[in-house]
Amino acid sequence: MIRRAVLTLALLIATLSGPAFAAEPPPPVTAQDHVLGRVDAPVTVIEYASFTCSHCADFHNDVLPAFKARYIDTGKVRLVHRNLPTAPANVAAAAAAVAICAAPGRYFDVAEVFMRDQAELRTTGAQPWFEAGVAASGKTREQIETCLGDPATGAALQAQIEGAQEAGVAGTPSFFVNGKPVADHSLEALSAAVDPLLRR
């Protein structure tokens, strides 16, 4: 399953080495985005991340729980997660596709498993890691496999990559708070960007 997904996404990954784009605001949030929190929250935080990026795993494992409790669970912020696969990009793209293929409402369950278990990639290899992600997806292996072969899945990931490039994203994780880039992914830096918007 995963080998096939990697081959299907191989051409898509080639776009990651394309030319840099002039920085623009990230694309607006649409129904295709994966959102954690209230859709009408006053502040939108867009995260570009990779499931193989150790700094992304650090954010999801160490910072996100406190950020979620302070801002997302209280209705102040909605977090939009978008994918920008990094090395090994074929593995990251396949993981992103598994998350995209998850049952409604299960995207962040898959993301949590991939980020939590990311270190195991170096010890157990990719297959057990992917199997854990599929198990969290709310779909059967066969359903995920069918979705991975659907051109719409690759197109959805391609759109996220192109949006990141157009916004000038150079690495992961990268954050935008109401469209403005935030250089640091610490709780303090994100709070410093979010809090003034909540006082308006």
Q: Is residue 98 part of a domain?
A: yes
Distance CA 99, CA 91 (A): 13
Determine the structural domain holding residue 93 and report its residue range.
Answer: 2-12+32-41+52-73+86-168
- Whether residue 153 is contained in a domain is answered as yes
What is the number of structural domains in the chain?
1
Tell me: pLDDT of 118 over 90: yes
Residue 23 inside a domain? The answer is: no
* Buried residues in 90-109 as b, exposed as e (16+ CB within 10 A): bbbbbbbbbbbbbeeebbbb
Please check whether residue 160 lies inside any domain of the structure. Answer: yes
Give the per-residue pLDDT at 24.
87
Residue 118 lies in a domain: yes
Predicted confidence (pLDDT) per residue in 97-106, tens digit: 999 999 999 9
Give tens-digit pLDDT for 124-176.
999 999 999 999 999 999 999 999 999 999 999 999 999 999 999 999 999 99
pTM of the model: 0.90
pLDDT confidence bin for 122, thresholds 50/70/90? confident
Q: What is the mean pLDDT of the segment spanning 33-54?
A: 97
**Is 145 part of any domain?**
yes
Residue with tokens 């359903």: 143
- pLDDT value at 4 more than 90: no
Identify whether 188 is part of a domain: no
Please indicate, yes or no, if residue 64 is contained in any of the structural domains.
Answer: yes
pLDDT for 8: 53
- pLDDT tens for each residue of 70-114: 999 999 999 999 999 999 999 999 999 999 999 999 999 999 999
pLDDT value at 179 more than 70: yes
